[in-house]
Structure 1
Amino acid sequence: MLCALIMAGGKGTRFWPLSTEEKPKQFLNLIGDKTMIQMTVDRIKPIIPVERIFVSTGEMYVDLVKEQLPELPEKNIIVEPEGRNTAPCIALSAFVINRYYNDATMVVLPSDHLIKDEDEFRKVVNSADEFVNKNYESIITLGMEPTRPETGYGYIRYSDNEVKVNNHKVIKVDTFVEKPNKEKAEMYLNEGNYLWNGGMFLWNVNNILNQIKKYSPNTYSALEIIETVEEEKLQETINSNYKNTEAISIDYAVLEKSSDIHVIPSNFGWDDVGSWEALDRYRDKDEAGNVLVGDTKAVEGENNLVISSSQSVVVEGLSDIYVIEHDGKILVGRKSNVANVKELKKII
């Protein structure tokens, strides 16, 4: 039985001022008419019913989750008392999912990524599910075929040990690699056996709990009571014990130590939408190449990024600039410098 965990606790600081700690990017309409988390749920619903979709988030975002995902059962909102990185989040969520769907397979998805070919994405998830069902102790990660020497992503180096599931290759992972510099990223692209690490995983729930017990025993022992505690005491128990977990990523805690990890090279138009440049890549543009979001216009100008959440903004006779308006704040600069917007928070 396949369940989904959507991780929605991030603060999305790179998209300030639109994304704030009170309402981070997963709850914003950055790409289309729906918010990022709504797009993530809609993407997986054709193969996983909503009663088997779980969302992990922080206490301050519970109301946003309920507002944007009203069909989600309340018990499927897994509330982290504090952010302690992905290993405790996944351990907590695996214990909770195991309460309701024992021995399920669990696909872990970020809440704020873009996937253009959703049909192919679902086919990849189904192939990964099929592999895990036949290989109980295996962990699957989805690796994106790189199209540029990207320095903002981690990489996965894979071996030549592969099998086919449906039309997808399942290949043994050699190692996970941290975000490289430009020179190394170009080398990875040329060598051809590296994939972008998209942070999407699939495993049997009991297997990942066994892996956490082996490699992160403090986290396991802090949370194992969750499986058996009475329902009305569940959140209280989580709140009392979560602080005793080890604050570490699942990559460091488990993936870099486990011996049975495979990757499916995937080509479904993925982007983590982690920068203003990504937004510029995927938003519709007018005939002059302007991205215009909200009550905005560009006159006699091209290649601008103009975004407004509450005010009318008109750009006239200018090109290659960004204008970002949100909550009374207006930021204007060269479009080539848009990656540095969050640095302006220190002076505004």
Structure 2
Amino acid sequence: MLKRAGEEACRAAAARGAAPVPHMALLLAGGDGTRLRDLTREVAGRPIPKQYCRLLRGSSLLEATLARARRFSTRADIRVVINHDHLELAREQLRDLPEDSIFIQPHNLDTGPGLLFSLLQIERSTPDAVVAAFPTDHYVEDDGAFIRYVRRAAAAIARMPDRIAVLGAAPDRPETGYGYILPAGAAGMGEGIFNVEAFTEKPDLPAAGAIIARGGVWNTFVMVFRLSRMMELLARFAPEGFGPMLALRDAPEKAADIYASLRAWNFSTHFLARIPRHLLVVEVTGVGWSDWGTRESIERTYRTLKLVPFWNRSRAVSRQAAG
């Protein structure tokens, strides 16, 4: 039903003589991955940000996210934000993308500046875009099913363009390292799409359990939104982070100087948690999603797949040889 609604919106736009709204994928690859440096040193031979590390054997998390995003957007409509000091790693893994598709921020200041830095660049060329934001440190077992949920979110935004749609994964345990979304009533757009009562970032264990007991879901940080609406909401609800970055609109070449005066801020804590009534949550099940923010979460996924992490196998072989 939602897919049909999106198609009807495109047909209506064409009938009015308007071009269909471009759907862009934004890959968020600006994190430093400091918590996993010991693991990435084992795997890559040097400590590198986790999104560039081949924790999947065949591909890195960034490469896997890029392949996933290509199911949603065309190659021409994919953008990636990275840090300047990751440029060498990123170029090798993003060689199939045009250079102007890669946004290079001076350094990492958490998710708020990284996301806004990217949106300001997209705004210059495509201010009417619908954007799907994808973190690049997540594992997804079933990409096809996951992207169907992203498309449902995009169709929901076509009908309710004043909202931000966030994918929420069904939890199987209390987890203090994740954000939580508490759904409210159904949004009237089909099964599994809800208004939002509350957004809580990284609660303690008792609070996480209580949220789950009330039907709460994990925040995947995969979001779909109209760019113009996102900018309006940021200006209204996160002015302390939004305002200082507006200098980039007029002087993008001065990004390094502008960044030197900025403070780090977290997009979930300082923005999403403030705007629950402006959110929709699309509940995601059966896709094998996991945030690979810690070694424990990565090795839990391997256990679920009944696999032994290849770095643990290598260590076991080394111990046997030494013995």
**TM-score over 0.5 for the pair:** yes
> Helix, strand or coil: the match of 1:256?
helix
Match of 2:67 in 1: 42
Match of 2:186 in 1: 161
> Helix, strand or coil: the match of 1:6?
strand
Asked whether the 8 Å contact 1:285–1:292 carries over to 2, the reply is no
Instruction: Give the alignment of 1:233-252 within 5 angstroms.
Output: 234=252, 236-252=253-269
**CA distance in structure 1 between the partners assigned to 2:158 and 2:261 by the alignment:** 32
Match of 2:40 in 1: 19
* Residue 262 of structure 1, aligned match among 280, 301, 318: 280
Match of 1:184 in 2: 207
> Helix, strand or coil: the match of 2:95?
coil
**CA distance in structure 2 between the partners assigned to 1:73 and 1:220 by the alignment:** 28
Q: CA offsets per residue over residues 52-97 of structure 1, 9 Å max, x none? A: 1111111011121110110111112111112222222221111111
Amino acid at match of 2:123: N
* Residue 213 of structure 1, aligned match among 200, 221, 235: 235
Which structure 2 segments of 5+ residues have no match?
Answer: 1-21
Relative to structure 1, the CA distance from residue 292 to residue 136 in structure 2 (aligned partners, 3 Å threshold; closer, same or farther) is: closer
Relative to structure 1, the CA distance from residue 220 to residue 265 in structure 2 (aligned partners, 3 Å threshold; closer, same or farther) is: same
Q: CA offsets per residue over residues 247-284 of structure 1, 9 Å max, x none? A: 21122332222231111111121101222233323338
Structure with more of its chain in helix, by fraction:
2
Match of 1:300 in 2: none
Relative to structure 1, the CA distance from residue 184 to residue 285 in structure 2 (aligned partners, 3 Å threshold; closer, same or farther) is: closer
Aligned pair 1:120/2:120, yes or no?
no
TM-score when normalising by structure 1: 0.77
Report the alpha carbon displacement of residue 220 of structure 1 after superposing the two structures with TM.
3.6
Instruction: Give the alignment of 1:1-348 within 5 angstroms.
Output: 1-19=22-40, 23-165=48-190, 168-191=191-214, 193-227=215-249, 234=252, 236-258=253-275, 259-267=277-285, 268-283=287-302, 291=308, 293=310, 305-307=312-314, 313-315=318-320
Asked whether the 8 Å contact 1:141–1:201 carries over to 2, the reply is yes
> Helix, strand or coil: the match of 1:274?
coil
**CA distance in structure 1 between the partners assigned to 2:114 and 2:39 by the alignment:** 26
**CA distance in structure 1 between the partners assigned to 2:265 and 2:259 by the alignment:** 13
Relative to structure 1, the CA distance from residue 108 to residue 37 in structure 2 (aligned partners, 3 Å threshold; closer, same or farther) is: same
Moved over 6 A (4+): none
> Helix, strand or coil: the match of 1:48?
coil
Asked whether the 8 Å contact 2:81–2:118 carries over to 1, the reply is yes
Q: What root-mean-square deviation, in Å, do the aligned CA atoms of Structure 1 and Structure 2 show?
A: 2.7
Structure with more of its chain in strand, by fraction:
1
> Helix, strand or coil: the match of 2:255?
helix
Relative to structure 1, the CA distance from residue 271 to residue 263 in structure 2 (aligned partners, 3 Å threshold; closer, same or farther) is: same
Asked whether the 8 Å contact 1:56–1:79 carries over to 2, the reply is yes
Amino acid at match of 2:236: K
Q: Give the stretch that moved more between structures: 245-254 or 106-115.
A: 245-254
Structure (1 or 2) with the larger CA radius of gyration: 1
Report the alpha carbon displacement of residue 226 of structure 1 after superposing the two structures with TM.
4.1
Q: CA offsets per residue over residues 216-258 of structure 1, 9 Å max, x none? A: 33544433354466xxxx4x23223234445211223322222
Identity fraction in percent: 25
Asked whether the 8 Å contact 2:25–2:131 carries over to 1, the reply is yes
Asked whether the 8 Å contact 1:219–1:244 carries over to 2, the reply is no
Asked whether the 8 Å contact 2:201–2:268 carries over to 1, the reply is no
Q: Give the stretch that moved more between structures: 13-22 or 153-162.
A: 13-22
> Helix, strand or coil: the match of 2:81?
strand
Which structure 1 segments of 5+ residues have no match?
Answer: 295-304, 319-348
**CA distance in structure 1 between the partners assigned to 2:201 and 2:160 by the alignment:** 27
> Helix, strand or coil: the match of 1:283?
helix
> Helix, strand or coil: the match of 1:37?
helix
